[in-house]
Amino acid sequence: MKAFRDAAALARRVRRDVVALWIAARDPRVPWYAKALAGAVAAYALSPIDLIPDFIPVLGYLDDLVIVPVGLALAIRLIPGALMAEFRQTANERSSRPVSRYAAAIIVVIWIAGSVVLALWLWSLS
């Protein structure tokens, strides 16, 4: 039971930190390089579409288990501690989670481009 409570607490912290990064990416006090990484990580994590769909065995959850936590850790290290604490507090006070439709659109474009490249490659083999 303790493991379940620990996992739930970790999930809440990750969710809060993703929203905090979304806020940090829009704050003028954050350095540009931290904004870029924070924005990319938050957009990917908040996107309603995954780069690797979850129904693909093993790889489908790889992005959720590796890419997002590593990106979170790197982005948080680049943001000054006092600012990150402020962003976390603001994220705790938010009642709704933002959704990144822009990131979803980028992922759809990547999938379409990949499909076109694959189709052209297969066509060239025949």
Average pLDDT over residues 58-72: 82
Distance, in Å, from the CA atom of 3 to the CA atom of 44, rounded to the nearest integer, reads: 27
What pLDDT, on a 0 to 100 scale, did the predictor assign at position 76? Answer: 95
What pLDDT, on a 0 to 100 scale, did the predictor assign at position 88? Answer: 94
For the chain, what percent of residues have pLDDT higher than 90? 33
What pLDDT, on a 0 to 100 scale, did the predictor assign at position 85? Answer: 95
Residue 92 and residue 24 in contact, taking contact as beta carbons nearer than 8 Å: no
Please check the confidence at residue 66 and state whether its pLDDT lies above 80. yes
Give the global pTM.
Answer: 0.69
The CB density around residue 93, as the number of other CB atoms within 10 Å, is: 7
What pLDDT, on a 0 to 100 scale, did the predictor assign at position 99? Answer: 63
Residue pointed to by tokens 């990319």 = 40
For the chain, what percent of residues have pLDDT higher than 70? 94
What pLDDT, on a 0 to 100 scale, did the predictor assign at position 97? Answer: 63
What pLDDT, on a 0 to 100 scale, did the predictor assign at position 37? Answer: 92
- pLDDT band (50, 70, 90) for residue 95: low
Q: State the amino acid at position 6 in one-letter form.
A: D
